[in-house]
Amino acid sequence: MPAAEWYVGLMSGTSLDGVDAALVDFSAATPRLTAKHFLPFTTELRHELLALNQSVPDELHRCMIAANQLAKCYAKATQTLLAKAGVSAQAVRAIGCHGQTLRHRPESAYTVQIGNAAMLAELSGITVISDFRSRDIAAGGQGAPLVPAFHDRILRHPEIHRVIVNIGGIANLTDLPPNGPVSGFDCGPGNLLLDAWCQRYCGLAFDEDGRWAAGGKVLPALLARLQAEPFFALPPPKSTGRDLFNPDWLQDRLEGGEASADVQATLLELTCRGIADAICRHAPGAAEIYLCGGGARNTALRERLAALLPECVVETTAALGTDPDFLEALAFAWLARQALLGQPGNLPAVTGARHFCVLGAIHPA
């Protein structure tokens, strides 16, 4: 039996809930998720990261302080993860750390993910690979989504047309036709607007199982205004984030006087329609849809997607033996391994880059 080949993947996304940490063994043909850990952000850090998504006073200093705080969170998550598994830091080849996105502007040829990877390497004693998006953007790509390459590696079926949908703050899909090239792109808001609206009116981090949304009714006129956003009609490759879809974007499209539960129901419909429309338009003939990310736990969302896609099986990636909450973290462990091996991590057909690229900046332990 070959010796374990350990990597750690760390993911903190646009949902701003915390850090997903995955310990992955790549010694076999199929990567094995050996241990997992979730570390929630403190309320203070979450609020600061949310504020830094827009221009704020003294933002450069605040950004660097937040990056240091994130590095400490990432190190704590890694240490707890390794303690759970009984694996030493010295046995881990590298950490793949996505970092926290504050700006994503591929149209202006830049993207910003903070996390102070040098400090993380110092605190963990493990080599850290970070800043995965920038190299793809330098080659003319969107820099995102990056996980389709990993989906293609572990979830493609030789005969069945599958689509993998990651529903984090933003929703993105990977199309895996059995006899064609992989493709993928961001298709619009996932949980981002749903969570923000729920926090505003219910004081809760998220709408558990979509129960609040299920108690409201969809407002057709509001839905039409939301769907008129030009992003939805853009052809792939495309990516997006809080730079576009944020509470101010929603507020600008409200007339005032809408019942809060009805707005939540309409936002859930927007997320589901964005995903379903993208699948119908860009992945025709798909037979199986597998969901991952936080939105995969939303019962009302899953049921509405299944209703919009009646010809498809709609399940979470748990049905394929892959934890839907940690698939992205697993993917960044794989991307770290690709970087150390000098192998490409992007798919030009997905991101629009001019060529394949080795992704990530390496910070030795």
CATH for 258: 3.30.420.40
Same domain assignment for residues 131 and 213: no
Same domain assignment for residues 314 and 331: no
Report the pLDDT value the prediction gives residue 113, as an integer from 0 to 100: 97
Report the pLDDT value the prediction gives residue 104, as an integer from 0 to 100: 95
pLDDT digits (tens, 9 = 90+) for 211-250: 999 999 999 999 999 999 999 999 999 999 999 999 999 9
Specify if 148 maps to a domain. Answer: no
Which range of residues forms the domain containing residue 20? 6-143+325-363
Same domain assignment for residues 177 and 107: no
Q: Is it the case that residue 185 has pLDDT exceeding 90?
A: yes
Per residue, the 3-state secondary structure of the chain, as one string, reads CCCCCEEEEEECCCCCCEEEEEEEECCCCCCEEEEEEEEECCHHHHHHHHHCCCCCCCHHHHHHHHHHHHHHHHHHHHHHHHHHHCCCHHHEEEEEECCEEEEEEHHHCEEEEECCHHHHHHHHCCCEEECCHHHHHHCCCCCCCCCHHHHHHHCCCCCCCEEEEEECCEEEEEEECCCCCCEEEEEEECCHHHHHHHHHHHCCCCCHHHHHHHCCCCCHHHHHHHHCCHHHHCCCCCCCCCCCCCHHHHHCCCCCCCCHHHHHHHHHHHHHHHHHHHHHHHCCCCCEEEEECHHHHCHHHHHHHHHHCCCCEEEEHHHHCCCCCCHHHHHHHHHHHHHHHCCCCCCHHHHCCCCCCCCCEEECC
Same domain assignment for residues 123 and 187: no
Same domain assignment for residues 58 and 174: no
Same domain assignment for residues 235 and 345: no
Specify if 149 maps to a domain. Answer: no
Report the pLDDT value the prediction gives residue 2, as an integer from 0 to 100: 81
Q: Which residues contact residue 9 at a Cβ distance below 8 angstroms, ignoring those fewer than 6 apart?
A: 20, 21, 22, 24, 95, 96, 328, 329, 330, 331, 332, 333, 334, 335, 336
Specify if 172 maps to a domain. Answer: yes
Strands 288-292 and 313-316: parallel
Same domain assignment for residues 134 and 263: no
Same domain assignment for residues 233 and 309: yes
pLDDT digits (tens, 9 = 90+) for 63-110: 999 999 999 999 999 999 999 999 999 999 999 999 999 999 999 999
**Amino acid symbol at 115:** G
Q: Is it the case that residue 210 has pLDDT exceeding 70?
A: yes
Q: How far apart are the C-alpha atoms of 226 and 249, rounded to whole Å? A: 9
The dihedral through the CA atoms of 268, 42, 173, 303 has a sign that is negative
Report the pLDDT value the prediction gives residue 228, as an integer from 0 to 100: 98
Q: Which residues of 127-139 are buried (b: 16+ CB within 10 A; e: fewer)?
A: bbbbbbbbbbbeb
Same domain assignment for residues 301 and 345: no
The answer to whether 335 and 360 have CB atoms below 8 angstroms apart is: yes
Strands 170-176 and 183-189: antiparallel
Report the pLDDT value the prediction gives residue 15, as an integer from 0 to 100: 87
* For residues 266-283, average pLDDT: 98
Could you give phi then psi for residue 175, rounded to 5 degrees? -95, 125
The pLDDT-based confidence of 357 (bands split at 50, 70, 90) is very high
Return the structure tokens found at 64: 């660097």
Specify if 151 maps to a domain. Answer: no
- Average pLDDT of the chain is 97
Specify if 150 maps to a domain. Answer: no
pLDDT digits (tens, 9 = 90+) for 26-74: 999 999 999 999 999 999 999 999 999 999 999 999 999 999 999 999 9
* For residues 141-159, average pLDDT: 96
Q: What is the pTM of this model?
A: 0.95
**Amino acid symbol at 274:** G
Specify if 248 maps to a domain. Answer: yes
**Amino acid symbol at 96:** G
The pLDDT-based confidence of 14 (bands split at 50, 70, 90) is confident
Q: How far apart are the C-alpha atoms of 150 and 323, rounded to whole Å? A: 14
| Structural domains of the chain, count | 2
% of the chain beyond a pLDDT of 70: 100
Same domain assignment for residues 137 and 160: no
* Burial of 90 from C-beta contacts in 10 A (0-12 / 13-18 / 19+): exposed
Same domain assignment for residues 298 and 330: no
**Amino acid symbol at 287:** A
Same domain assignment for residues 160 and 308: yes
The pLDDT-based confidence of 1 (bands split at 50, 70, 90) is low
Beta-carbon count within 10 A of 259 CB: 12
